[in-house]
Structure 1
Amino acid sequence: MNIIIHPTYFPNIAYFVAMAKAEEVIFEVDDNFLKQTYRNRTYIYGANGKLALNIPVIHSQKNRQKYRDVKIFNEEKWQNLHWKSLLSAYRTSPFFEYYEDELQPLFNTKVDYILDYNFKCLEAIYSCLQLELNTSKSETYQKTVEDKTDFRHLVNAKKEPFQHFDTYTQVFSNKHGFISNLSILDLLFNEGPNALNYLESQTIITQ
């Protein structure tokens, strides 16, 4: 199937299940930036449970701002905070050290625009997963699309449909149980080279 989906910050499991099963992935890059979405947010499994990592952005005074035009507020040391949070959450996971060298540069290099940064994160994850994708970017925004499965609704952090995915061992699962549909980083650090097999074996709710 061909799908259209938003590029987001270290996307969750549902995103990567959709992408791993797709013949072609079209990234939506012509939409307006909205708050309360995964465009600049991801969730990991911290010692106290589900933990949000947010990238601070500079909001325009205009009512509408294109996703591609939104800048990161790099005055905040958010990259250092996010990396420390990942270390705290996953340094004892089976595969953190396996991927550490590939991912750490993402938290040392400043990028001006959130869309550009999200694509850098995606490319690093493709490499870690050894996932080969046929991708392209949208040229104009279309509210409804034909000949593609529309997964753009997955960007809504507050309205996402419940996704049931198979359990896997998580670092703090003995404390808080299994937490489904976290960032792809959670799966990667816990499952390592098996992560792609896991994604390909899961089923996603389309709406």
Structure 2
Amino acid sequence: MNILLHPAYFPNIAHFVAMVQAKEVVFESDDNFVKQTYRNRAYIYGANGKLALNIPVIHSQKNRRKYRDVKIFNDENWQSLHWKSLLSAYRTSPFFEYYEDDIKPLFNSKVNYILDFNLKCIEVIFDCLQLDLNTTKTETFQKSVENKIDFRGLVNAKKEQPQKFEIYTQVFSNKHGFIPNLSILDLLFNEGPNTLDYLESQTLTKQ
């Protein structure tokens, strides 16, 4: 199947289930940027439970801006804060050290545009999974699409449909239980090479 979805910040497991089961992935880049979505937010499993990592963006006087035109507010030291949060959450996980050298450089170099940074994050995860997917980006916005399954709704954090994904072992599950559909980083650091098999075996509830 061919799918259309937003390139999110270290996308959650639902995004990756859709991607690994697709024949072709088309990334939406021509829609309007919407606040408080997975475009600039990811959730990880911290010591106190579900933790949001938010990328600050430069706000504009205009009401509507294209996703591709939104810049990151790099005056804030957000990359260092996000990396420290990942260290705190996952340094004791089984596979953090295995992937650390792949992930850490993303937090050491500045990228101007949120879309470009998200695509870099996804590319790194593809490399970690040794996943070779056929991907393209949209050139114009279409409200409805043909010949593709529209998964753009997955980016809406506030309207998220519950996903019945299989339980896997998480670092702090003995404290707070299993938290489903976190960032792909949670699955990767906990399951390592088994991540791809896990994603391929899950059933997705469309938003």
TM range (shorter): over 0.9
Describe how 1:39-54 pairs up with structure 2 within 5 A: 39-54=39-54
Q: Distance in 2 between matches of 1:36 and 1:83?
A: 21
Are 2:157 and 1:157 aligned?
Answer: yes
**SS at 1:57 equivalent:** coil
**CA RMSD across the alignment:** 0.5
Deviations 1:58-104 (A, max 9, x none): 01100111100000000100000000000000000000000000110
Are 2:42 and 1:38 aligned?
Answer: no
| Partner in structure 1 of residue 100 of structure 2 | 100
Describe how 1:55-94 pairs up with structure 2 within 5 A: 55-94=55-94
| Partner in structure 2 of residue 178 of structure 1 | 178
Q: Runs ≥4 in structure 1, deviation > 3 angstroms? A: none
**SS at 2:25 equivalent:** strand
| Partner in structure 2 of residue 7 of structure 1 | 7
Q: Distance in 1 between matches of 2:41 and 2:206?
A: 21
Structure 1 stretches of 5 or more lacking a match?
A: none
How many residues were matched structurally?
Answer: 207
| Partner in structure 2 of residue 115 of structure 1 | 115
| Partner in structure 2 of residue 25 of structure 1 | 25
Aligned-partner residue type, residue 53 of structure 1? L
Q: Distance in 2 between matches of 1:195 and 1:106?
A: 21
| Partner in structure 2 of residue 167 of structure 1 | 167
Deviations 1:43-64 (A, max 9, x none): 0000000000000000110011
**SS at 2:195 equivalent:** helix
Aligned-partner residue type, residue 140 of structure 2? T
Aligned-partner residue type, residue 147 of structure 2? D
TM-score (structure 1 length as normaliser): 0.99
Aligned-partner residue type, residue 205 of structure 2? I
